[in-house]
Structure 1
Amino acid sequence: MTMKQLHELFLEHPVICTDTRKITKNCLFFALKGPNFNGNAFAKDALEKGAAYAVIDEEEYNASGQYILCQNVLDTLQELALYHRKQSKARIIGLTGSNGKTTTKELINAVLSKTYRTIATQGNLNNHIGVPLTLLSITKDTEIAIVEMGANHKKEIAFLSNIAQPDFGYITNFGKAHLEGFGSVEGVIEGKSELYDHLMTHDKYIFMNADDPIQAEKLGSYVKKMGFSTEDHQYYNIQYMGANPYVVLEAEGTRMETQLIGKYNFPNCCAAIVMGKYFNVPLEDIKAALEAYAPQNNRSQIMEKNGHHIILDAYNANPTSMRAALENFNLMEASNKVLIIGDMFELGQTATEEHQAIADLAAGLDFNSVYLVGENFFGTTTTLNTYRSFDNLKQHLAKNPLPKGTLLIKGSRGMALERVLELL
């Protein structure tokens, strides 16, 4: 079957499923493989549950006309996404960075959807499987698609950019994330910059944080760009008015009061504003979108439980985002500040050094109680409370309940520190 024929079949059955637990009637099932599973073995089950066709890559499973045999299912999914993207008239915004990608994506989508029919990456489906699935969710009515791209090693963003073929792009920042794969902060900069490299090579449009010296240097002579700045008036000027705890900003004399905590969310808001301006979204609609957006899914969520005022930021963590969160929490006006932070993953050889630095920072800030959780924090030299595992923390809190106050919970996804809520 040619890619053109497969694409015609996809247009007849425009829902892609890769998990037999989520099969919808008349979908196309792609039998992807993983370290511990072979999707080919589930193809029959997918068809029995209502899938129209199953795309497989092992001859022994090719039992009827409902099976589409290819050389490699993942490659075929990616090639189909690229083919579909080339047929689409939607404008694609590519988005990457070390921190704030998902929040920025949601803010951009909130702003642009005020004027356009948009789609955006669901959750953080931002890898070599998620990006193709996002592209394949573009319909004939879609005008703008915001495609988030994640990476933990070099060449990954370049690969995803070749599939997405973005017309526009933005990098949130360059931080200490996935150092195990990138090797160093310089490796992070090189890897994330592959999005800008792709855009410049293809003479596409770039959005930038002009106050970021790395972006300013890299894009200094590039013409097709629009940036934001708090000071440089050759770019779109946005003023930071404070965050106690929510970010307040001002653009063109219009005050915007968001539901996002921390100064680190200010540039995320700015990116959404500057894209809204580029795409001619009225400023009052931009303001309405930013003020209505409330974070979800353990990303700087603010909640109350049993007398505790909680900032739940347990979706992910790296040294850059952890430092920003602690410094912001330190500046907040709140009573009885309690800090519970968990290990930061994928730091490679820098793990010991980076966890010690965060432990030292936490010890030097003004918190009433601090709890460090995980093998790496347990190994630090500190006077703070350390717990080798979540279960150890749980045992301690069962005997010594947390006092009522304001609680910041942050750690890498693998630490699953949202479980602390069950202990309150």
Structure 2
Amino acid sequence: MMASSENHSEQKADTPYYYWQSENLLVATQSVSGYWLNQNEAKTEKLLAKLKSSRIITDTRRIAVGDIFLAIIGDNFDGHDFVEAAANSGAVAVIVSHPVSTQSDILQLIVSDTRLAFGQLAAYQRQAMSNLKVIAITGSSGKTTCKEMLGSIFNAADATVNINENSDFQEAASQSATTLITKGNLNNDLGVPMTLLELTYQHRYAVLELGANHVGEIAYTTKLVQPDVACVLNVGSAHLGEFGGRDAIATTKAEIYQSLTAADTAVVPIDDDYVQLLTQAAKHKTSHIIGFGWHHGNNPIEKNSDFAEQSGTAQVTASAVQVKPTHNEFVLHIAQKSAAIYLPLAGEHNVSNALAAAACAHALGIDIEVIAQGLNQAQAAKGRLARQSYGLHCLIDDTYNANPHSVRAAAAVLSVQQGHKIMVLGDIAELGDAALSEHQQLGIDIAAKPIDSLLCVGTLAAATVQSSSQAGMSDAHAFSDKQQLFEHLKAQLDALQQAGKTATVLFKGSRTMSMETLIAQLLATTTAEQTQI
């Protein structure tokens, strides 16, 4: 739903927060037939006149006095069962799909579908932020890292802007970041509205991650987000089981361009196999297309000419890349300008993530010097190649999530580290019928890297280990549970420590495997041993 400016009352003069009142709640939910339940005419009118709230919450455990509670119906719960609890916690109104009998006189906004209403309310609040610039990102891997890089770039941009001394929000802006970034993996039809409803008038930028496990999901969320810049990072094999093939994944990722206008910008990966499909999808909406990728010889797009043939617009590229165990050094090229980058994140895949972030920032007019400053200050998100010490050894936590593409990238990172190189790998989920073949291929690909040990756990661990052993890896082991793997790994690390040798251990696996618990268990043994000493 596109909200017209006349439907948004001017609230900025009093507060940076967006307030929901009886009228704009009705306007925002008109497409889902919103109306106020009239329980007692005189009392209802009085309560409606007083209604003013800055938060719409779907979890009663987070309800504070003055909030609005929206009752979501899930697979194993019905938010309508918690309306009374919301009222008791101080909610001033509830949004429900049918009238709910309560002991209180709490206001009830009735809609045809609360899940859809949640999206419409979020879209309405996003449209109220007329000075906001929004970037939407999707891809099979790299979304979290790219959005964190963009946050760093926008922080650098903020440092170059003097806040207007006469601004009503000078104090608020100085106390809070002006960039809103999707937290964790809140990237679906509920997570995206949750993020949008956190927008305030002090935000200058928003970076929204859009994910999907079925066709049409990104088309829905990008309509809510209405991005100024839409970016596809890559097309991999994450969620292969849900989609059935990479062609369907590519088509779904391309949905992110559907809400662009002629004035907006599409960002496409020129090195990707599906650059032609993505570029064609973008061209249906805008002529402003930026490609990001690597230099290949004298022609920055020689590896894949599809982008040049279809677009001919701007490119953001990297050259002279030096991949180090802890960072990447490369030259960033944007238009006719270049800048030296010292990216404090390891792995070639993070150069690609940085190029995507640079392309998105460039689309919003951020100067290359500011982009370089932000990239040089970027930090790894938790569970994304974060490092910790364990005796003489280095533990690399890359456990946030996994798909075949990111596992190969992690193996490449591990292969250039110091000492004995150990990869600890949990099963990869959501691969459907391709699960066995994908795990077998990973075993072959890992064996091709200079990695000394491979320790796998999960129902498909044996398949990965068998294929890696057949491909020449001499030290590969499969375990039925993480405790067995832990005991083997600890013994191996202790033996190396006693011999005065170092090791680098990289942990990777799908979110369902919770591979980070192995790191916590190792670190806990160090604390316990120190206590005993």
User: TM-score normalized by structure 1?
Assistant: 0.91
Change (3 A) 1:218 1:253: closer
Q: Which residue of 1 aligns with 2:40?
A: none
Match of 1:40 among 75, 80, 86: 80
Q: Distance in 2 between matches of 1:283 and 1:92?
A: 19
Aligned-partner SS, 1:12: coil
- Are 1:422 and 2:422 counterparts? no
- 36-45 or 261-270: bigger deviation: 36-45
Q: Which residue of 1 aligns with 2:217?
A: 156
Between the two proteins, what is the percent identity of the paired residues? Answer: 30
Q: Distance in 2 between matches of 1:12 and 1:111?
A: 35
- Are 1:230 and 2:289 counterparts? no
- Are 1:342 and 2:431 counterparts? no
Q: Aligned-pair distance for 1:33?
A: 2.3
Q: Specify which structure has the higher proportion of strand.
A: 1
User: TM-score normalized by structure 2?
Assistant: 0.73
Q: Aligned-pair distance for 1:379?
A: 4.2
Q: Which residue of 2 aligns with 1:244?
A: 324
- Equivalent AA in structure 2 for residue 261 of structure 1: A
- Equivalent AA in structure 2 for residue 108 of structure 1: L
Q: Aligned-pair distance for 1:423?
A: 3.4
Q: Which residue of 1 aligns with 2:125?
A: 84
Structure 2 gaps, min length 5:
1-21, 30-47, 159-177, 301-313, 470-475, 497-501, 523-533
- Are 1:390 and 2:475 counterparts? no
Q: Which residue of 1 aligns with 2:115?
A: 74
- Equivalent AA in structure 2 for residue 312 of structure 1: D
Q: What do residues 77-121 of structure 1 show as CA deviations (whole Å, max 9, x unaligned)?
A: 111112222333123221111100111111112212433532221
- Are 1:363 and 2:447 counterparts? yes
Q: Aligned-pair distance for 1:227?
A: 2.7
Change (3 A) 1:198 1:339: same
- Are 1:210 and 2:273 counterparts? no
Aligned-partner SS, 2:389: strand
Aligned-partner SS, 1:59: coil
Q: What do residues 192-247 of structure 1 show as CA deviations (whole Å, max 9, x unaligned)?
A: 111124437x6632123333352256426932122334335652343252221212
Q: Which residue of 1 aligns with 2:506?
A: 408
Q: Aligned-pair distance for 1:143?
A: 2.6
Query: 1:15-26 maps to which residues of 2 (within 5 A)?
Result: 15-26=55-66
Q: Distance in 2 between matches of 1:216 and 1:186?
A: 12
Q: Distance in 1 between matches of 2:521 and 2:100?
A: 50
Q: Distance in 1 between matches of 2:322 and 2:51?
A: 48
Q: What do residues 341-386 of structure 1 show as CA deviations (whole Å, max 9, x unaligned)?
A: 1100000000010011112222333222210111112345344200
Q: Distance in 1 between matches of 2:356 and 2:506?
A: 26
Q: Which residue of 2 aligns with 1:102?
A: 144
Change (3 A) 1:361 1:236: closer
Aligned-partner SS, 2:379: coil
Q: What do residues 136-193 of structure 1 show as CA deviations (whole Å, max 9, x unaligned)?
A: 2222232322111000121111111122122220011000110111110111111111
Residues 340 and 408 in structure 1, CA contact (< 8 A), matched pair in contact too:
yes
Aligned-partner SS, 2:345: strand
Q: Which residue of 2 aligns with 1:264?
A: 349
Q: Distance in 2 between matches of 1:92 and 1:155?
A: 21
Change (3 A) 1:308 1:68: farther
- Are 1:141 and 2:141 counterparts? no
Q: Distance in 2 between matches of 1:41 and 1:188?
A: 37
Q: Which residue of 2 aligns with 1:373?
A: 457
Residues 56 and 67 in structure 1, CA contact (< 8 A), matched pair in contact too:
no
Structure 1 gaps, min length 5:
none
- Equivalent AA in structure 2 for residue 49 of structure 1: S
Q: Which residue of 2 aligns with 1:281?
A: 366
Q: Aligned-pair distance for 1:286?
A: 2.1
Q: Aligned-pair distance for 1:255?
A: 1.7
Q: Which residue of 1 aligns with 2:249?
A: 188
Residues 342 and 417 in structure 1, CA contact (< 8 A), matched pair in contact too:
yes
Pairwise CA RMSD of aligned residues? 2.6
Q: Distance in 2 between matches of 1:370 and 1:125?
A: 32
Change (3 A) 1:397 1:209: closer
Change (3 A) 1:333 1:417: closer
Aligned-partner SS, 1:260: coil
Q: Aligned-pair distance for 1:46?
A: 2.7
Q: Distance in 1 between matches of 2:383 and 2:241?
A: 24
Q: Aligned-pair distance for 1:294?
A: 1.1
Change (3 A) 1:61 1:203: farther
